[in-house]
């Protein structure tokens, strides 16, 4: 008789020399463990695809108390099972969850100069954010646009003709969402034509602007009321909020408020407004300032509990392994015509170029934000939670610090 420990095909395993983590993507539960040399060796054997997630248990190893309780936990938490087999020829096996991603395999196998014939770049243009006009922001807000969708700080203007020819040049058959971000300093002169352009292309538009009762606001309301597009308004003051709420109720417009949270007070105020006005959908977005890192640390950092509640499927884990789903397929265009894969990085190029070329640059770049997974950044790449943790966010790119979490890895 020989015993084999076999992990289930929905189990993921990540480990380093001192600790490890099993994640059962069916039960959506993980358990972490400490590694000694023996457990580490078993993990290495599981990690060899040719073992098909099945490892013979050496009975003498069971003397090791840590190992023995590790085995018990594997069974108890339904991570795997132990099978006793008489005929070793018929050893049990399973299928380790190794991703077969056609795009990725073709990308790796084919000649760099030719491979785009088999990978469809047009599929990757899903969302575009146009910063139509900027300016008029207090100093503190000048870099918010690098963290969240927020008006650009410099006084400037994106010409309609330039947008038009950029869209004409590019292949937009897979573009589903466009965000138009305006300041309310001056009315964007061609906003009606621009929105009309997206109506004809069948692309969904969301307009972002400060929630102030200005001429720009009134004009946007007038244009959007004949569409099913969404307006997002940044909360500025309670006075503006009340005035706008009162005005907008006569229009059948899809809109919601965006609350920026810098500290506890902002959060309490936002909670109160939402409750008092029965706001069913609002965006609550934390923003980093030069003074509120502590607030972030206390309230925003990812905790073990957060990860525990993520309920990731196998597909979600594969996604975390391969791409950054926060930014994948999203181009950002500043009023100067520069196009970015991420506003915390250098531009990919300008609107004079074909968006397909810009996307090729993004996904070919070893530093690509679209492909920036936790596996690629320090210290996450050595952390056992790296494929469960949400992909790096703009707060992290902005700070150039990739572990906004309360989890301490043992490495």
Partner 1 sequence: MDLYKSYKYVLNLSDTVPYKALVNLRQLVFEVTSNCNLRCKYCGYGELYNTRRFSKGENMSFIIAKNIIDYLFNLWNNNEVDYDHRQTFIGFYGGEPLLNIPFIKKVIGYIESLPVPKRRSFTYAMTTNGILLNRYMDYLVEKKFVLLISLDGDKYAHSYRIDSRGNNSFDKVFVNTKQLQKKYPDFFATNVSFNAVLTDRGDTFNIKNFIYENFGKYPTVSEINESGVLEKQKDKFNEIFHSSDTDWTNPKNKEYTGKFIEISPQFRSLYNILMSLSGNSFRSYNSLMAKEGATVYPTGTCFPFDRKLFLTVGGDILPCERINQKFSLGKVTEQGVNIDFKAIAKKYSLYYRKIWSLCKTCYAKPVCSQCFFYVDNLETKPVCLGYKNKEEYDMYIHSRLNYLAENPDIYLKLMRETF
The residues that touch ligand SF4, with contacts defined as CB under 6 A, are: 302, 374, 379-380, 383, 385-386, 389, 403, 405, 407, 409
Complex with partner 1: residue 133 or 322, whichever CB lies closer: 322
| Contacts (Cβ under 8 Å, ≥6 apart) of 387 | 12, 14, 23, 317, 320, 321, 374, 375
Complex with partner 1: residue 3 or 107, whichever CB lies closer: 107
CB of 231 to partner 1, least distance (A): 24
Complex with partner 1: residue 5 or 220, whichever CB lies closer: 5
Q: How many Å apart are CA 368 and CA 359, to the nearest integer?
A: 10
Residue 323 interacts, among partner 1, ligand SF4, none and using kind-specific CB cut-offs from 5 to 8 Å, with: partner 1
CB of 179 to partner 1, least distance (A): 18
Residue 91 interacts, among partner 1, ligand SF4, none and using kind-specific CB cut-offs from 5 to 8 Å, with: partner 1
First and final C-alpha spacing in the chain = 38
- Reported as half-sphere exposure (CB side, CA atoms, 13 A), residue 10 has a value of 15
Residue 253 interacts, among ligand SF4, partner 1, none and using kind-specific CB cut-offs from 5 to 8 Å, with: none
- Does residue 228 come out as left (phi exceeding 0), alpha (psi in the -120 to 50 range) or beta? alpha
104 is a site residue for partner 1 (CB under 8 A): yes
DSSP class of residue 144 equals G
Q: Is the dihedral of CA 247, 250, 252, 257 positive or negative?
A: positive
Please confirm whether the linkage preceding 278 is cis (ω < 30° from 0): no
99 is a site residue for partner 1 (CB under 8 A): yes
Tokens of 348: 């990919």
CB of 371 to partner 1, least distance (A): 9
Complex with ligand SF4: residue 279 or 407, whichever CB lies closer: 407
100 is a site residue for partner 1 (CB under 8 A): yes
Complex with partner 1: residue 34 or 173, whichever CB lies closer: 173
Q: How many Å apart are CA 361 and CA 18, to the nearest integer?
A: 38
356 is a site residue for partner 1 (CB under 8 A): yes
Going through 35-79 in order, the beta strands assigned E by DSSP cover: 54-56
CB of 10 to partner 1, least distance (A): 8
Residue 386 interacts, among partner 1, ligand SF4, none and using kind-specific CB cut-offs from 5 to 8 Å, with: ligand SF4
Q: How far is CA 372 from the centre of its chain?
A: 10
Q: How far is CA 269 from the centre of its chain?
A: 27
CB of 23 to ligand SF4, least distance (A): 13
DSSP class of residue 140 equals G
Q: Using an 8 Å Cβ cutoff, are 383 and 8 in contact?
A: no
Q: How many Å apart are CA 237 and CA 276, to the nearest integer?
A: 15
Classify residue 34 by burial, with Cβ atoms within 10 Å: 0-12, 13-18, 19+.
Answer: exposed
- Does residue 349 come out as left (phi exceeding 0), alpha (psi in the -120 to 50 range) or beta? left
Q: How many Å apart are CA 271 and CA 182, to the nearest integer?
A: 26
CB of 111 to partner 1, least distance (A): 11
User: Strand 127-131 to strand 11-15: parallel, antiparallel, or no bridges (unpaired)?
Assistant: unpaired
- Length of the chain equals 411
Q: Using an 8 Å Cβ cutoff, are 371 and 329 in contact?
A: no
134 is a site residue for partner 1 (CB under 8 A): no
- The binding track of 146-185 with respect to partner 1, each residue x by CB under 8 A or -, is -------------------------xxxx-----------
Q: Using an 8 Å Cβ cutoff, are 384 and 16 in contact?
A: yes
Complex with ligand SF4: residue 146 or 374, whichever CB lies closer: 374
DSSP class of residue 10 equals T
Complex with ligand SF4: residue 351 or 383, whichever CB lies closer: 383
Per CB under 8 A, the segment of 59-67, 71-79, 119-127, 178-186 that binds partner 1 is 119-127
Residue 314 interacts, among ligand SF4, partner 1, none and using kind-specific CB cut-offs from 5 to 8 Å, with: partner 1
Which of 103, 141, 336, 353 touches partner 1 (CB under 8 A)?
103
Residue 260 interacts, among ligand SF4, partner 1, none and using kind-specific CB cut-offs from 5 to 8 Å, with: none
Q: How many Å apart are CA 91 and CA 85, to the nearest integer?
A: 7
Residue 409 interacts, among ligand SF4, partner 1, none and using kind-specific CB cut-offs from 5 to 8 Å, with: ligand SF4
Which of 58, 123, 193, 222 touches partner 1 (CB under 8 A)?
123
- The binding track of 306-325 with respect to partner 1, each residue x by CB under 8 A or -, is --------xx--xx--xx-x
Contact positions vs partner 1 (CB under 8 A): 9-10, 49-52, 90-91, 93, 95-106, 116-117, 119-124, 126, 171-174, 314-315, 318-319, 322-323, 325, 328-329, 356, 359
């Amino acid at each position: 008789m020989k015993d084999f420990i076999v992990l289930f095909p929905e189990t993921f395993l990540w480990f380093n020399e001192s600790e490890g983590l099993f994640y059962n993507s069916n039960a959506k539960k993980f358990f972490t463990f400490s590694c000694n040399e023996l457990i580490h060796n078993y993990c290495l054997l599981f990690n060899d695809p040719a073992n098909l997630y099945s490892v013979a248990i050496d009975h003498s190893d069971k003397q090791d108390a840590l190992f023995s309780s590790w085995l018990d936990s594997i069974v108890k938490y339904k991570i795997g099972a132990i099978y006793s087999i008489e005929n070793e020829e018929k050893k049990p096996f399973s299928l380790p969850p190794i991703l077969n991603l056609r795009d990725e395999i073709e990308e790796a196998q084919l000649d760099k100069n030719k491979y785009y014939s088999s990978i469809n770049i047009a599929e990757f243009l899903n969302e575009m954010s146009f910063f139509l006009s900027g300016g008029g922001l207090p100093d503190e807000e000048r870099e918010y646009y690098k963290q969240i969708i927020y008006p650009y700080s410099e006084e400037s203007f994106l010409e309609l003709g330039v947008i038009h020819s950029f869209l004409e040049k590019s292949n937009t058959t897979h573009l589903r969402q466009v965000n138009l971000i305006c300041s309310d300093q001056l009315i964007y002169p061609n906003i009606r034509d621009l929105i009309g352009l997206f109506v004809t292309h069948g692309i969904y538009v969301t307009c972002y602007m400060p929630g102030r009762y200005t001429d720009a606001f009134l004009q946007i309301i007038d244009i959007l009321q004949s569409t099913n597009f969404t307006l997002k308004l940044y909360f500025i003051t309670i006075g503006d909020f009340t005035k706008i709420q009162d005005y907008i109720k006569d229009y059948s417009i899809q809109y919601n408020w965006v609350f920026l949270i810098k500290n506890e007070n902002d959060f309490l105020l936002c909670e109160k407004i939402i409750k008092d006005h029965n706001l069913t959908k609002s965006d609550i977005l934390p923003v980093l300032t030069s003074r509120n890192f502590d607030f972030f640390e206390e309230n925003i950092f990812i905790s073990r509990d957060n990860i525990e509640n993520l309920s990731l499927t196998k597909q979600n884990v594969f996604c975390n392994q391969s791409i950054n789903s926060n930014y994948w397929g999203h181009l950002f265009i500043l009023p100067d015509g520069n196009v970015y894969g991420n506003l915390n990085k250098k531009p990919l190029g300008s609107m004079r170029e074909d968006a397909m070329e810009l996307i090729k640059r993004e996904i070919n770049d070893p530093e690509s934000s679209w492909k920036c997974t936790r596996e690629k950044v320090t210290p996450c790449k050595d952390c056992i939670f790296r494929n469960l943790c949400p992909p790096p966010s703009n707060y992290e790119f902005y700070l150039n610090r990739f572990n906004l979490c309360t989890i301490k890895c043992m490495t």
